[in-house]
């Protein structure tokens, strides 16, 4: 997993959290919703979150947690809601979010499959990061579902999704 730029991200028990998530992860670690996806969501989300003044701790936790409760690779409509419940159960153990931060993280996870664009830079940076990685399942991200800043990253993110670039 690419964990570059750790020096500029908030401090929390990152390795403990990732171990805990992986221990309970019920689908393939090598599938479309596994750690390689989380890493790309994190990379895109942090870049956008920083440039737009979002809460990068919330964005990073979204990347690691948003697909952590999937039961299958396809039509698991409630995986975001379960991820929100999971995040609440972990707060104070691997990370310490204030109520407002936890609310944003939970909202972003509960609604991440909805296709809406949000005015909150933190929430939209989470969704942008996820949607910019649609190339891994053969879908080109569409600018109508991204922030203006994220729309500029479609080509590079799609190359990365397909394994054509490490950047």
**Nearest distance, CB of residue 72 and Fe ion, angstroms:** 11
Contact 129, 141 (CB under 8 A): no
The two tokens of residue 147 are: 């922030």
Q: CB-wise, 42 or 52, nearer to Fe ion?
A: 42
Q: Interface with Fe ion includes 60 (CB under 5 A)?
A: no
| Interacting positions 88-147 with Fe ion (CB under 5 A) | 130
Contact 33, 70 (CB under 8 A): yes
Which listed range, 4-12, 64-72, 119-127, 145-153, lies at the site for Fe ion (CB under 5 A)? Answer: 64-72
**Nearest distance, CB of residue 89 and Fe ion, angstroms:** 19
The two tokens of residue 101 are: 């931060």
Q: Interface with Fe ion includes 67 (CB under 5 A)?
A: yes
Q: Which residues, including other chains, have CB under 8 Å from residue 113's CB and lie 6 or more apart?
A: 77, 80
Give the per-residue contact string, 32-51, with Fe ion (x = CB under 5 A; - = no). Answer: --------------------
Question: How remote is the C-alpha of 57 from its chain's centroid?
Answer: 11
Distance CA 2, CA 40 (A): 8
Which parts of this chain interact with Fe ion (CB under 5 A)?
67, 130
């Amino acid at each position: 997993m690419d964990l570059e730029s750790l020096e500029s991200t908030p401090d929390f028990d990152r390795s403990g959290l990732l171990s805990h998530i992986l221990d309970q992860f019920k689908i393939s670690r090598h599938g479309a919703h596994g750690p390689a996806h989380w890493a790309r969501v994190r990379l895109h989300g942090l870049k956008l979150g920083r440039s737009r003044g979002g809460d990068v701790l919330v964005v990073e936790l979204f990347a690691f947690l948003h697909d952590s409760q999937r039961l299958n690779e396809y039509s698991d409509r409630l995986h975001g809601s379960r991820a929100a419940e999971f995040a609440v159960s972990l707060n104070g153990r691997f990370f310490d979010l204030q109520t407002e931060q936890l609310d944003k993280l939970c909202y972003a996870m509960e609604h991440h499959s909805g296709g809406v664009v949000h005015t909150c830079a933190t929430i939209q940076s989470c969704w942008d990061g996820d949607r910019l990685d649609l190339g891994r399942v053969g879908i080109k991200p569409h600018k109508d579902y991204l922030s203006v800043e994220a729309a500029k990253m479609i080509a590079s993110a799609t190359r990365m999704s397909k394994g054509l670039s490490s950047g």
